[in-house]
Amino acid sequence: MDEFKRLNRELVYEGSIIDFYKDTIQVPNGNVVKWDFIGHKGAAAVLPVREDGKILMVRQFRNALDRYTLEIPAGGLNPGEPMIEAAARELQEETGFCSDNLEFLISIYTTVAFCNERIEIFVANQLKPGKQHLDEDEFINVEAYDVEELCQMIYEGKIEDSKTISAIMSYKNKYLK
């Protein structure tokens, strides 16, 4: 494979979740091009499974899409926070449930063309009810669905979030054969 060489990475904007860079890259034929790069600080997600097999989902407004979405609970990492601890924290914050039984399911990169966002997804069982701890800008409804209902929503285009689709399909394949 021919070599790509990064000649420069210029920070254009530093944010709380992402940093935006302009990269200067030499491509294999020798040409020099500019590429956008978004550096993401990492995230974790959790697929919470109730005793009855239903999966807890969160419905929340997403500014990027200007609409509500149905997703699994997820959020960014705090500095130095292990992924599994972030998943447990997001489960409790967004749904009010907690679990001492989190198991790794899958790791995904959400948009490899221009961003390094990596999300580790865990399955949570033996859920214990508690209280939501939402951020001041979060307004989340918690809903429960069985896997077949969620798959149908994926096929109908009602669930389009990549981490959620990856989690549901991986869970179905691994646990419900």
Tokens of 3: 């070599």
Do the beta carbons of residue 119 and residue 43 sit within 8 Å? yes
**Alpha-carbon distance 40 to 38, whole Å?**
6
Q: Which residues contact 89 (CB under 8 A, 6 or more apart)?
A: 75, 81
Query: Comparing C-alpha atoms, which of 17, 53, 68, 8 is closest to residue 38?
Result: 17
- Going by their DSSP bridges, the two strands 55-62 and 141-145 should be labelled as antiparallel
- Residues recognised as catalytic: 136
Q: How far is CA 119 from CA 40, 41, 109, 115, 152, in A?
A: 10, 10, 6, 12, 24
β-pair partners for 66: none
**Alpha-carbon distance 40 to 115, whole Å?**
7
Looking at residue 126, the DSSP 8-state letter turns out to be S
